Every structure is written in C-alpha cells, then in structure tokens.
Structure 1
Amino acid sequence: MHLSTAHLIHRVFFTCIAAIALAVPAKAAPLKPYKDALFSYGTVLETADGGDYRVVDYQEMRDINGRDQEPERRAKRAYVSLGVKGAQANETLAVGSRPLDVTRTGSASGAAFTVIFIHGRGGDRRLGANDWSFGGNFNRLKNLAVDNGGVYYAPSIRFFDDAGVADIAGLIAYARQQSPGRPVVLACASMGSFICWGITRDKQAVASLKGMMIMGGPADPAFMKSAAYKRKLPVFFSHGSADSVYPAADQIALYRSLKTAKYPSRMVLFQTGSHGTPVRMTDWRDALNWIGLD
C-alpha cells in the first residue's frame, strides 16, 4: 500500500504520542467507591472549618458488636473481600542499613500511588495486613489500593526512635524509586505516630510525601518547626474522644493551631471512641481523596 509523505508524517506523529503516553504514569483519579455503604462515616454530630473538622457518632454496640462476627477479632463476611490476597506478598526489603520486613499488597512497581501504614507498640506487619480485624478496615484499604492501581505496604517496626524513622525514610525512598513521580501517603497509628513525627523532620523524606495521617496518636508540639510544616504537607487526624492513652484534647489543640495558621489539615473525632477506634473507623477512601492522589 502506497502512503503519501503527509500520511507517513501523520502516522509517525501519533505513534510517538502513544509511546510518550505509555511511558508517563497515568494521573490518579480520586479513589473509586468500594463498600462505601459499610465503611463511610455515619451521623456527623458537629462540623466546622468548612467540613474539615467533624465529630462523628460512634457506638460500641453498633460499630464493634454489630460489625464483627467475633467482637474485635473477626469482621462479618460482608466487610471482607479476600480476592485481593492474590496481589499480596510478604517481602524483606533492603531499604536502609538493615532489612525491613513488609507485607505488600498491589504492584511492586509502576503503582499509581503508595500508602504505608505504621502500627503501634506490640504490633508487626501482620496487624496492617489482617483482613478480619478492626472491622475489615485494612481489607478495604487493600482493595482500594489494588482496584485503583496503587500499592499498600505494612512494615514491621522494630524501633520507635530514630532507627525506626530511618527505616521508614528508606521505605519511602524505595516506594518513590519503584513508582517515580507518584504520590506516597504515610499513615501512623498510636505509638507509630512517633515515626510519622520523626519523618516530618527529614527534609528528603518529606519531599517524597503527598500527605500524612495520624490515627489515635500523640500530638507533636514541635511540628510547626518541622520540614513538613514548612512544605505545608497535608495532615489528616482521626481520634477517639475517650482515648485514655493519648488524650484527644492534645490532638484537637494541634489541629486548631494548624487551622489558625491556614495549614492544610483535617480532623475526624469519634464521639465516645477509645484508643483503637480510629484504626477501625477511619474512612480510608475519604481521607486519601482529601489528601489527593494526583
């Protein structure tokens, strides 16, 4: 078949455009709904700051006993979809000065986004990978990651000091290397929040992050002196109002000081919720969409 010079130029042009499109990672759209009817927030009792501050109704009999087949051990089957386990693997990564054990769910490279969850004291990677605990909330996170082309890491934290911070800084750098130019979100629960606050002082790690989540953790009174604060890294807080380990008042005070400074922050307070409530009840899709995965 004979092609004119014009047709050849036209074909070469669009072939090049297609090649460029394949080489550049697709821009992530907001996360698609996944079991929102089961995991979205219930009744909002109070709202302020244009919706950035919300007090959400929490009731133990409904939100634990009504949601779990075995309270605090095994969610009801409707909350869990196990097909995602086919995209899950236990790995040991060389990301710093020593190996780091992780559970990865999703593609190891070329992911549209990365979420890293840091457990609290006494936990390991199994906590963040458990499909059945915390009302199935981690199973939902896994499915959100896989269905939207992302990847989720649950590492084992051995130290909650500078050594642990260095491990996670290495994991953040690894995630960026595996999926160049794509967003990374760091989420920390309970005592694991010391890792998040430590990362906020690491200028290089902060430059690789899109946002951060603090779930039932301590407040950091020195946060406003950090590299993350200077960069205005979005921070999402969730906390139980009856938390006896880390008082909600401290986290609320930090959130309000950030809002006064017009810093990008959001807070969900679970009325009557205890220390473990945020890990069970935080709506991952809502939080990640607010942070933005583009």
Structure 2
Amino acid sequence: MFAASVMVFSQPAHALELPPQKDRLFAYPALLSASGDGSYRVVDYREMRDINGRDDIPERRVNGGYISTGVRRVQEDLALRTSAGTVRHVAVGTRERASAIVLYLHGQGGNRRQGVDDFTFGGNFNRIKNLMANAGGLYLSPDFSDFSAQGAREIAALIDHYATRSPGAPVFVACGSMGGALCWMLASDPATAKRLGGLLLLGSMWDEGFLEAPAFAGRVPVFFGHGSRDPVFAVEKQEAFFQRIRRAAPNYPARFVRFETGTHGTPIRMTDWRETLNWMLSLR
C-alpha cells in the first residue's frame, strides 16, 4: 500500500534518506567481486532467475509481490508549456516543496510511459515511484523531442520549473541507453548543473566532455550500471570512462555496478534505486 510520509519530507535536505520499499526483493544478487573501496562491483545476474523467476510474463508483467500500485493515486499525466516548448511528462508525488526530484530519461524508441510502467523491468519503475512518493519527493518521466540540443533544452526547462517550486531539492537524473546524451548535456549546463544531486547512467554512453563540465567541477555524484554483454554500448568502454573520472579527480564520487552476463536493459531492471540515491543523498 502507498503511504505518504511527512516525517521524511519535514527533514532538511541533507538529512533525507529514502525509506525502505521492498528492499529484500530488490537487493542485488550475490556479489562476485568488488574494489577495495566498494566503488566498483560485479554483481551476479542470471536471466532465468532475475527475469523468468521474477516475472509472471517474462519482460512484460512482474510478479505482483514486487509492486505497490496505490502510488497511482499521486500520479498525473501532464503537459507543461515552457520557453523550450510543451513538455509532456508524468509526475508522481509532490509537485511543490518536494524533498527531492528524480527524472528518468528514456532511450531510443521509448516515451514518458516507459518510466512509470508498473509491470515491466521487474517492477523497478514502480519501486522508484513509491520511494519518491513515500519520501515526500517527486518523480518525473518526460517525453522530449530528441537526444540533442532541443531535447536538452526541454528537460532543462522541466527541471527549472519543478526545482523552482521545490527550493533546495536535489535533482537526480537517470538516463537509460541513448538518454545518456541528455544526461551529459545537462551536466554541461551551468544553471542545471548547480541543481544536480546526481546522475545515473543505466546501460548508457560515456562523454569525455564531462571532465570539463560544471557538474564535474562541482563533484556531482555519478552512478554507472552496465551489463557485461551489452551489445549497444560496450561495457569495457564505460568501465574505462569510469576509471578516467577516478584518475582525473581522486576520490570523485562515482560508482560502477557491472551486471555479469546482463545485456542492454539489465541495469534498468536491476539497479537498486534506494541504495544508489541514499548514497548520493549522504554526500550532500
């Protein structure tokens, strides 16, 4: 059952911690290896267990125990007129004075509905909806025109609209696949970068320009989730970029989770939203 939590909402932003939401079900499977500081981890992923054993209809409908659909009561499909054009988006949770804001930017062929689908990707979108709503936060899943400058302008305008109504709320942007192009452009926009609480790259791309971006200078935390058998973006290149960040700025707040045998969509299904966002929140 969905239940709003004013206790977490009333705390200052630096004290925010997302409350539990089916943590046992969404915890990472066995850890195969990890770096000494835990910033790089290899997680055991098995399709038969993590898709077939989790979904009633593989990749289409998760087992009901993984989801809590009462959160739909605070979900609305909206259209916002901005200086960059009208931005259609789904909003879940508190649209003013939110404790934190999370956006999910879909990849090629996706749309705003992907990020609020309760049943696909193992129920992981339903979990982030509940996590944010129960913490007095806001979750947004928008449409956008493209993966270049116009799309970035639209998302920046969406962020500006909601961040203005929730002063001090950190903004976390999660980008799936090609959506990563927008993540990196937002990181390079000074006005948006100062609002960022973190970036999550889920089966996505790299951008060397990030090392010159305002978000990098501001030490905005970055999370990478990647399948070892991703046929679209090679895991070795994303791992090399993660290491490049760590070399360029010692102790930079970056983490990498490699899902061993996972493919392109695996990080969207398997990333532990609560662990990742609470880590980013703890750095504020």
TM superposition score normalised by structure 1 = 0.90
Alpha-carbon separation, structure 1, partners of 2:10 and 2:227:
38
Q: Distance in 1 between matches of 2:228 and 2:121?
A: 18
Out of 3, 6, 11, the residue aligned to residue 26 of structure 1 is 11
Q: Aligned residue for 1:17?
A: none
What is residue 284 of structure 1 aligned with on the other side? Answer: 273
Preserved CA contact (<8 Å) 1:25 1:110:
no
Match of residue 28 from structure 2: 41
How far is 1:25 from its partner?
5.8
* 2:209 is the counterpart of 1:222: yes
Please tell me whether the aligned partners of residues 187 and 215 of structure 1 are also in contact (alpha carbons under 8 angstroms).
yes
Residue by residue, what CA displacement relative to the aligned partner does 1:169-194 show, whole Å, maximum 9, x if unpaired?
A: 11111121111111111110100000
RMSD: 1.3
C-alpha separation in 1, matches of 2:71 and 2:133: 7
Secondary structure at the residue paired with 1:50?
coil
Q: Count residues in correspondence.
A: 271
**Aligned equivalent of 1:140, options 127, 131, 143:** 127
Partner residue in 2 for 1:268: 257
Verify the 8 A CA contact 1:176 1:182 in the aligned structure 2. Answer: yes
**TM-aligned CA deviation for residue 129 of structure 1:** 0.7
- Which position in structure 2 is the counterpart of 1:78? 65
Where do 1:205-244 residues align within 5 Å?
205-244=192-231
Once the 2 structures are TM-superposed, how far is the Cα of residue 49 of structure 1 from its aligned partner?
Answer: 4.3
SS for the counterpart of 1:186 is strand
Equivalent position of 1:21 in the other structure: none
Task: Provide the TM-score with structure 2 as the length reference.
Answer: 0.93
Runs of 4+ in 1 over 2 A off after TM superposition: none
Measured in 2, the distance between the counterparts of 1:26 and 1:37 equals 26
Following superposition, the deviation at residue 95 of structure 1 comes to 3.0
Does residue 53 (structure 1) correspond to residue 40 (structure 2)? The answer is yes
The CA deviation at 1:222 is 2.1
Corresponding residue to 1:170 among 157, 180, 190: 157
Cα deviation for residue 108 of structure 1 reads 1.1
- Residues in 1 aligned to 2:216 and 2:28: alpha-carbon distance in whole angstroms: 28
CA distance in 2, matches of 1:223, 1:195: 12
